[in-house]
Structures are given as C-alpha cells and as structure tokens.
A and B are shown apart, each in its own frame.
Chain A
Amino acid sequence: MPLILDHVCQIYNADTETPVKALDDVNLVIPEGQFIGVIGHTGSGKSTLIQHMNGLILPTSGSVYFNGRDITDKDFDKKELRKHVGLVFQYPEHQLFETDVFEDVCFGPKNMGMSKKETELAAFEALRKVSFPEDLYYASVFELSGGQKRRAAIAGVLAMKPDFLILDEPTAGLDPVGRCEILDMVSELHRSAGITIILVSHSMEDVAMYVERVIVMDKGRVAYDDVPREVFSHSEELEQMGLAIPEPAKITRELLKRGFDVDPGVLTSSEAADSIYKALTKNR
C-alpha cells in the first residue's frame, strides 16, 4: 500500500493579498518499509507536506493516493486513512488530555472502533514498544518528565497500529540523551515492527544516522530525493537552502581539501573517525 503524492500544490491565504505557496508541485512515492528523513529549513513546507499524507490538509490542486484510492474523494474514509498513517505532531506532549497515561494512549484505538479488550491490549503493546516505564502507566501526565511525556504521546499514535508512522521533529526540545533515546526507539520500531517511518527534522545529524532515503524540501518544492550519501554530496546547494551538512561530513570534506586522503561521503562520527584514522596511518 504505497502512499503517492501526485503534483500536489497547496496555497494558503489564497483570497488575500499575501498568498503563500506552501507546496509547489510535489511528486513523491512512499513505498512500505522505508525509513525516510524529510529535512528542510523553517517554512520550507515540511509540516504542510506531512499533513497531506493523512488527509488533515487537502491539496489545493493535485492528488494524494493511498492504497490506489484518491483521498480527496467524497466517499473516502479519512478515519481509515488515519488508522494506517499515524502522524505525531511537533511537541506531541501538548495534546495529552486524559487523567492518566494509559487512558490517553487508549484514545486513538478507541476512536478506531476497537473493543475495550483490543484497545487495552493495543495500548499496553504501544507503551511497551516505546519502552515507557511500567510503574508510570497510571501516573498523571503532569508527573512525567519531558522525554516520558513524548514517549507517551508517541505511544498514543502507535496504539492505532499504523503501517506508516510520521514524526514531526520528534526530538525538538529534548536534551542530547533524550534525543538519542527517541531516535533509537524509532529506528527499533522500523527494524522490528517493519513500520514505514517518515522522520521530519531540520537537523541533518539526526537524519543522517538512521534513514535510508532523504527528501530535502526547499520553498515548497522537493529539492533532493535520494540516499543520504548522494544528498549530502551537494553540500554547497544545501548550505544555500540554510541547511548544514552533518558535522562529520563537513570535517572530512575540509580535510580532503587540505590534501588528506579521506572518504568525503561519511555520515556518522564513527565512520569519520575510521576514515581519518586510516588516512593518518597511511601517510606514516
């Protein structure tokens, strides 16, 4: 069941003197099983893009197909779409509302029409998948730390058992440890449960470490759509879009310019370290 965006355009405030073209002719195919990173500068259309994927915003022109059906059709069941395509917004902890964590996680599956037993099972499973501490299942959401709240909120979407999971800046406002934990957890979901993950971020570092495909958004258009190594080789263009390539890649690029024999395509710090070590030992 791939998700297809076909010539999607979105114009905000079309009836005023200052219309904003948020998406401009976006064409994407998202097959099942991929781990995709969407990056772009603030206002590049990332958030608008992902909201098209589960029908929260309908395109001004163009169409979105899920499972071979146009989601803009009148008789298309958007609830069904939202069950398959889970969307976790930025700062998802702000949308927690129930008296305790478990109840809140139950909200999604209950809306999907699952029975009480199914709902509770799904909630337990989701909370376990995000490795939420067991003794806090029935704690009030106000007693939790920032990272725990975020896990609870992600579990709330995961409990609907989506095939696609879209996360909008899941690491925003977390400390470095919390960021790593959340990203590791997302990566684990992709590996073990086979969920298609779309990770939206403005941080190249986050994306480079985990994803297998990078979509770069710039001014509402898809600027690049390729494997990370290919995308990061366009470092100058990316910098013009206000995006910095990952620190390790930057360092090796700089070293290459100064005559060291290093691999310019590295993405993570451990790869960079290996490459630099090799270059240094070879020179000796």
Chain B
Amino acid sequence: MIRDITIGQYYQTKSVIHRLDPRVKLLGTLLFIIALFTYNNPVGYIIGIIFLCTVIKLSHVPFKFITKGLKGIILILCFTVLINLFLTPGTPIIAFWKITITYEGLAVAFSMILRLTMLIMGSSIVTLTTTPNNLTDGLEKGMGFMKIFRVPVGDVAMMMSIALRFIPILLEETDRIMKAQLARGADFESGNIVKKAKALVPVLVPLFVSAFRRAGDLAMAMEARCYRGGDGRTKMKPLVYKKRDAIAYIILFTFVIVSIWLGRWSVITDFFRSIYMNLFGCPL
C-alpha cells in the first residue's frame, strides 16, 4: 500500500517530455496551476483538459500510473466538495431539513474537483518525467535570481535533492519495518482510528531512529568529501536550453494566454457590460 504514493516518483521511459529542460517543466506547472484557478467557464477547463491529456500522451507515462497519485487526495477532495456543495449560498435546487444544495454550490464543487485533480495530475507529470537530480538542478538555476536577496539557493537546492533522494529510501524502509512488525503479529488494518494510530507506533519509532541515523551518516560522508556549501559548485552536465525548449515555451505561453482569455471571457464581457450599463443607463 505504501507503493501507491506516486508523488515524487520517477517513471523511467523515453519521451519528449522527459527530455525537456526541467526549468520549462517547472515554470509550465506553475503557469498551468495559475491558469487553472482563473477559469470560471467550461471553455477554460476543456482547453486545460485537452492540454493535460496531450502532455500525458506525449510523456508515454501510463494513464493508470498518474491517476494512482489521486488516491492520496481523495479524502481532501470529498471534503472540499461537500463543504462547497452545502455551504455556498445562491439559488436552491434541492432543499430539505437544514440542507440546501444550490446551483452555485454545484458549480463550485464541480470546478473544485476539476481543479484539484488537474493540479495533482499536472504536478505528478513533472516529477514522473524528471529525475530528482534534474528537478533540483532546474530549481537551482531557475531560482538563481534569488541570490540577489541573499537566499542561499545552492544550499536549498542541495537540501531539496537530499530530501527527494530520501523519499524512496524512507518509503522502502517503512515498507520493511511494517513487514517486520506484521511478521510479529502487528495489525494495521482493523480497529477504529485511535487503534490504527496506536498501531503505527511500532513503525514510526524505528523509522525516526533510522532517519536520524541515515542523516548522521550522510552528514559525515559529505564532510569527509569536503562539502563546504552549495555555492559555486560546478556541474558535470550543466543545463542548457535546446531548440525544443524554446518551442515548448512558445506552446506553453500560447496555451496559458489563450486558455485564461477564453476561460475568463464571460467575466470580461460582464465587466464591460456593467461599465456600459453605468455609463449609458441601459443594457448593451
């Protein structure tokens, strides 16, 4: 069950998306997420879905693999949907007892589902197609301008890459410890929440101990190799923009501008309509 978590995992295969510069992918995700939260009509979502599906298709990562990452947020998803569904004021569709479902609530809930699933899928595409090393390289270089504000970008990048590198190790460790405790008759599945939480103690304690042990060993190994901070370290394979990255940027910006423009079109028209109303005192 621990292997179901796909966030932060890398899927080994060859594709255009895999070969793209990590900076393109990182900026792309950021813009994609911003765009997602600006839409307020179906046209925007449709364009967004088409874009996402095209990227997934191009990445050669099986669709099943990407949706696996959604399992983790299903609870949050249900929660947001319910809150939005019942607590949004507006024109009621169904009303009985104290519960009213409004037309607006339905619309908000639906768009929330779309936004969250697309957000998760969009960001898992980046981690699935980029090796952790490449990802931090991209972050380090992309965030290079932050050095002006005395942000230790190199150190932060090193921390990130270590953290990312440790995700699979710790997952594997968790899996092993869970199995070892299962072999001693531990039960992680039955019982209520309190019992389940208590059952995790035999896993969490050894996990923390081993995480600290590993961190200590790593620090020692880094010092033994004269690590003196991330600033000014050179790369064996420095990131260089290629032609395909330029093309990707063009496609990306076109998508973002067009989708935001179309996705918010009604707002824009409504805005002009209201100005017209105020100026001339009659509808357009």
CA distance A222 to B12 in the complex (A): 30
Sort A-B residue pairs by CB-CB distance and give the 10 closest, nearest first.
Answer: A111-B185, A97-B205, A108-B184, A95-B180, A87-B183, A89-B180, A97-B202, A56-B179, A95-B206, A97-B206
Q: Are A15 and B187 in contact (CB under 8 A)?
A: no
- Asked, given contacts A16-B65, A97-B201, A97-B205, whether A89 binds B183 with beta carbons under 8 Å apart, the answer is yes
Chain B's nearest CB lies how many Å from the CB of A78? 8
Chain B's nearest CB lies how many Å from the CB of A233? 35
CA distance A89 to B65 in the complex (A): 30
Task: A82-B182, A89-B180, A157-B183 given; name 4 further pairs at CB < 8 Å.
Answer: A95-B177, A97-B201, A107-B184, A111-B185
CA distance A83 to B184 in the complex (A): 8
Instruction: Judge if A96 is at the interface, Cβ distance under 8 Å.
Output: yes
CA distance A97 to B209 in the complex (A): 9
Q: Which of A15, A56, A95, A160 contacts B185 (CB 8 A)?
A: A160
Instruction: Judge if A79 is at the interface, Cβ distance under 8 Å.
Output: yes
Interface set, chain B 37-73, CB cutoff 8 A to A? 62, 64-65
Interface set, chain A 74-106, CB cutoff 8 A to B? 79, 82-83, 86-87, 89, 92, 94-97
- Asked, given contacts A89-B180, A92-B180, whether A18 binds B185 with beta carbons under 8 Å apart, the answer is no
Residues of A near B180 (CB, < 8 A) are 87, 89, 92, 95
Task: Classify chain B: how many residues form its interface, as a range.
Answer: 20 to 34
Interface set, chain B 183-220, CB cutoff 8 A to A? 183-187, 201-202, 205-206, 209-210
- Asked, given contacts A89-B179, A97-B205, whether A17 binds B12 with beta carbons under 8 Å apart, the answer is yes
List the interface of chain B (C-beta within 8 A of A).
11-13, 62, 64-65, 176-177, 179-187, 201-202, 205-206, 209-210
Closest to B185 in A: A111
Residues of B near A51 (CB, < 8 A) are 179
Chain A's nearest CB lies how many Å from the CB of B133? 19
Instruction: Judge if A29 is at the interface, Cβ distance under 8 Å.
Output: no
User: How many A residues touch B, CB cutoff 8 Å?
Assistant: 25
Chain B's nearest CB lies how many Å from the CB of A48? 12
Q: Which of A56, A112, A160 contacts B182 (CB 8 A)?
A: A56
Instruction: Judge if A63 is at the interface, Cβ distance under 8 Å.
Output: no
CA distance A89 to B176 in the complex (A): 8
Instruction: Judge if A37 is at the interface, Cβ distance under 8 Å.
Output: no
Residues of A near B201 (CB, < 8 A) are 97
- Asked, given contacts A89-B179, A89-B180, A96-B206, whether A83 binds B185 with beta carbons under 8 Å apart, the answer is yes
Residues of A near B202 (CB, < 8 A) are 95, 97, 107
Chain B's nearest CB lies how many Å from the CB of A222? 23
List 22 A-B residue pairs with CB atoms under 8 Å apart, sorted by A's residue number.
A17-B13, A51-B179, A56-B182, A56-B183, A82-B182, A83-B185, A86-B183, A89-B179, A89-B183, A92-B180, A94-B177, A94-B209, A95-B181, A95-B202, A95-B206, A107-B184, A108-B184, A108-B185, A111-B186, A156-B184, A157-B183, A160-B185
Q: Are B11 and A16 in contact (CB under 8 A)?
A: yes
